[in-house]
Amino acid sequence: MKKFFLLFLALGAVAFADEGKSMIEAYSVVAAGVGLGLAALGGAIGMGHTAAATIAGTARNPGLGGKLMTTMFIALAMIEAQVIYTLVIALIALYANPFLG
C-alpha cells in the first residue's frame, strides 16, 4: 500500500500536467486533495470521540445531559473549524497559488 501511495504522489504531477499547467500547479492539486482528506479524517475521528464521550457521560449521570450536550456542540464546532481552515488553505493553494509568484 505504501508503494502505491508513493507511486501516486510521484506520478501525480504527470497525471495533472497539461500544456498550460506547471509542475507547481499539479503538485498543488495533489497536496490540496491529500490535505483535505487528512483533515476530514482527523475531524471525523475527533467528532466520533466527542460524541462517544458525551454519550458515556450522559449514561453515567443523566442529570448533566443538557450541559454535556452544550459542551459537545461547542467542541464539535471547534473541530469543524479546523477542517474549514484546511479547506480555505487548499482553495488558496488551488486558485491563488502563492508559489507561482
What is the per-residue pLDDT across 53-68, written as a single tens digit (0 to 9) for each?
Answer: 999 999 999 999 999 9
Q: How many CA atoms lie within 13 A of 17 on its CB side?
A: 8
| pTM of the predicted model as reported, rounded to 2 decimal places | 0.71
Distance, CA of 48 to CA of 69 (rounded, Å): 14
CATH architecture, range 23-95: Up-down Bundle (1.20)
Distance, CA of 47 to CA of 31 (rounded, Å): 24
Distance, CA of 46 to CA of 80 (rounded, Å): 9
Residue 14: predicted pLDDT: 63
Mean pLDDT in residue range 83-88: 93
Q: Is 22 helix (H, G, I), strand (E, B) or coil?
A: coil
Distance, CA of 97 to CA of 28 (rounded, Å): 8
The string of pLDDT tens digits covering residues 14-24 is 666 555 567 77
